[in-house]
Amino acid sequence: MAKEEKQVRASYLEATGRIDYGMTNDYMFRAILQRNEKVLKGLICSLLHLKPEEITSVRITNPIEPGDNYDAKEFILDIVVLLNDTTLINLEMQMENELNWEDRSLSYLCRSYDQLCRGEEYTMAKPVIHIGFLNFPPFAGSREFNASYKLMNVKNHRIYSDKFILNVIDLTQIEQATAEDKASRIDYWGKLFTATTWEEIRMLAKKSKTMEEASKALYELNADEITRQKCRARDDYYRLQNTINKKMEELTEENQSLTAKNQNLTAEKEKLELEKQALEKLLTEHGISYPVHTDEVL
């Protein structure tokens, strides 16, 4: 083991307290998987229930260059991985609920599936699997940790195709992991992603060499100033988005409140007008005169 590597390992083992930028930061998530092929393979093995020897090759087809500037809106969220030259996998870490997950995930899935060149047979299209790690339920009331969606006949439940799959890992529901999830250690990956302290990270890393690799990469990247700047920029972007969304919600509620008040005032005015008309009619029927108001000045 090289001297520098030993020093990094020693520092990693001594690290304590809160992690500045964990793997739920989408830039950090991408940086670790792009940097360490062993971690990428290990994660895919767990997610797709594969044995290590079943993976002959993995290649990220949309890599980013560390240090390059990316506009917050242009930053590519999904990591596209070509597995064994036969299957495309989209990996996405999404912590903020921007209320567009269903549409966006379908867009990513369709975009990856639409890969044929002019003149190629449709049967040549590679299978595509989109896997989203979310920090919120994809649907209201959902309490499922790992869900898989396919095109299916709604009457007889026959699967239309295995080439178009959407998987959702809800990181808020790790405790709902099934026996199958635990057997593949998908729950451990979820815990690793959401860990907030170095003590917690090291405890989880003891369970797997691959997770130890991921933990060390996380430590090294947290010590890299360029990576920290990019992670901070992502956090700032989402913080700003949250502020804007909150303000929009407040303005919407205020507008709804004013609209309701105006409706109440209109209804009250209409009620008073009806009462006035009824009173005038009653006075007329009894031969009682009533004052007529005019804007003319006598």
Instruction: Assign 255 a pLDDT band (cuts: 50, 70, 90).
Output: confident
At residue 264, does pLDDT exceed 90? no
User: What are 166-190's pLDDT values in tens digits?
Assistant: 999 999 999 999 999 999 999 999 9
At residue 207, does pLDDT exceed 50? yes
User: For the chain, what is the HEC assignment?
Assistant: CCHHHHHHHHHHHHCCCECCCCCCCHHHHHHHHHHCHHHHHHHHHHHHCCCHHHCCCEEECCCCCCCCCCCCCCCCCCEEEEECCCEEEEEEEECCCCCCHHHHHHHHHHHHHCCCCCCCCHHHCCCEEEEEEECCCCCCCCCCCEEEEECECCCCCCECCCCEEEEEEECCCHHHCCHHHHHCCHHHHHHHHHCCEHHHHHHHHCCCHHHHHHHHHHHHHHCCHHHHHHHHHHHHHHHHHHHHHHHHHHHHHHHHHHHHHHHHHHHHHHHHHHHHHHHHHHHHHCCCCCCCCCCCCC
Q: In 10 A of CB 87, how many CB atoms?
A: 16
As a whole number, the mean pLDDT across the chain is 88
pLDDT at 74: 53
User: What are 190-203's pLDDT values in tens digits?
Assistant: 999 999 999 999 99
pLDDT at 293: 57
pLDDT at 297: 46
User: What are 37-70's pLDDT values in tens digits?
Assistant: 999 999 999 999 999 999 999 999 999 887 676 6
Mean pLDDT of 95-106: 87
Q: Could you give the C-alpha distances from 295 to 75, 209, 270, 280, in angstroms and in order?
A: 66, 90, 22, 20
For 105-134, b/e burial (b = at least 16 CB within 10 A) is beebbeebbeeeeeeeeeeebebbbbbbbb
* Among the ranges given (44-48, 111-115, 143-147), the one the predictor scored with the smallest mean pLDDT: 111-115
Stronger pLDDT, 181 or 256, i.e. the higher one: 181
- In the numeric block, which tokens belong to residue 25? 């930061």
pLDDT at 298: 43
What is the percentage of the chain residues whose pLDDT exceeds 70? 90
